[in-house]
A and B are shown apart, each in its own frame.
Chain A
Amino acid sequence: ETGVTQSPTHLIKTRGQQVTLRCSSQSGHNTVSWYQQALGQGPQFIFQYYREEENGRGNFPPRFSGLQFPNYSSELNVNALELDDSALYLCASSSGTEATGELFFGEGSRLTVL
């Protein structure tokens, strides 16, 4: 059973550019959530995808968008990058039927915006 994998692990962008981050969910999981973790902060919920549809969204602007594919892998896209977007972006997968909502996190993609 493979865990949650994210790519790339590190990347550097400049302000105004666009970025795509990728996530492969754990085998058997149909739900993917994305979180932003700024340095010294706890993770903040961006959105969740369940069976290819956005299932919930946190307080992030529309320039944060996502996709989920039929194999339940997912992408996070951020347009018009700002300096404050520098953070660790965490993907978590879960089984949509689990009442406990246990999330299995990947190791994250660290984005630096210059």
Chain B
Amino acid sequence: GEDVEQSLFLSVREGDSSVINCTYTDSSSTYLYWYKQEPGAGLQLLTYIFSNMDMKQDQRLTVLLNKKDKHLSLRIADTQTGDSAIYFCAESIKGGGADGLTFGKGTHLIIQP
């Protein structure tokens, strides 16, 4: 079955880079996503990558995909206190969400001053 794994916590100093890692098992995954959830809020899409891409950069965010190892990472440059949240990795086969997204359990990003 499909499975998405993430480490539960990551602590970084303000101004440093944060790297959040994710592994998935379904080789049919076509779309891979990173969502952010702040306390008491719904999920916000940060970025996504197609499985035929290796890297995607969007301002402070860099997504790396190693399809051979089924490994996805999200790098946040110059981490700020406002980046404190839970970050979810998710995958989908069909895109459009028709098969639903499969989410990991989320990584709590903790920012130290």
Contacts and interface: CB of A to CB of B under 8 A. Distances in A.
B97 A103 contact: yes
A80 B89 CA distance: 32
Interface residues of B, number: 25
A90 B11 CA distance: 27
A92 B100 contact: no
Interface in A43-71: 43-45, 47-48, 50, 55-56, 58
B53 interface: no
Contacts, number: 73
A48 B45 contact: no
B88 A90 contact: no
Interface residues of A, number: 31
B8 to A, nearest CB: 9
A100 B95 contact: yes
B82 interface: no
Interface in A1-56: 4, 31, 33, 35, 40-45, 47-48, 50, 55-56
Interface of B: 4, 31, 40-45, 48, 88, 90, 92, 94-106
8 A-B pairs with the lowest CB-CB distances in the bound complex, closest first: A45-B100, A42-B103, A105-B42, A101-B96, A105-B43, A101-B95, A101-B97, A56-B98
Interface of A: 4, 31, 33, 35, 40-45, 47-48, 50, 55-56, 58, 90, 92, 94, 96, 98-108
